[in-house]
Amino acid sequence: MENPGGSVELGSVTYAQPSITKVGGVTEMRHVMALAQVAGVKVVPHSAYFGPGLIASIHCIASMPKASLVERYACDFDINPLHDAIHPVEGRIPVPQDPGLGVELDAGVIEKLRVG
């Protein structure tokens, strides 16, 4: 991966919006977040997801020394395999506390949504 901090180091970035699914997962997201912190750049992860990408982004944000916003796509499904775990409560999406990403996908919902 090329140096994601190049623009940060040059001072040409005000807000970094890395996507956890595109930068290489949690480890690389944390690397980008650390580069941004050193350079004084705010991180607001790009997270236009409804599944594990959103939940992983929420966990990374929770690990940041300063509070950050999370980008959440502004529509809802009739049903989703994460149920209320992706819905804001009083303007915030709670950080799941169970092992792993903290929430399990509902296999019944996935089966119901399966195509073909």
Domain count, the chain: 1
Identify whether 28 is part of a domain.
yes
pLDDT of residue 3: 54
pLDDT of residue 8: 61
Identify whether 31 is part of a domain.
yes
pLDDT beyond 80 at 36: yes
77-109 pLDDT tens trace = 788 888 888 888 898 889 999 999 999 999 999
Identify whether 59 is part of a domain.
yes
Q: Which long-range contacts (CB under 8 A, 24 or more apart) does 19-27 make?
A: 19/45, 19/46, 19/47, 19/53, 20/45, 20/47, 20/53, 20/56, 20/57, 20/60, 21/49, 21/53, 22/46, 25/56, 26/56, 26/59, 26/60
pLDDT of residue 1: 42
The pLDDT > 70 percentage for the chain reads 91
pLDDT of residue 25: 93
Identify whether 98 is part of a domain.
yes
- For residue 81, what is the domain's CATH number? 3.20.20.120
Question: What is the Cα gyration radius of the chain?
Answer: 16
pLDDT beyond 80 at 74: no
Identify whether 99 is part of a domain.
yes
Identify whether 44 is part of a domain.
yes
Domain around 101: 6-113
Identify whether 89 is part of a domain.
yes
Kindly report the average pLDDT of the chain as a whole number.
85
Q: What is the mean pLDDT of residues 5-10?
A: 60
pLDDT of residue 72: 79
Identify whether 1 is part of a domain.
no
Could you give the CA distance from residue 20 to residue 45 in angstroms, rounded to a whole number? 8
pLDDT of residue 6: 58
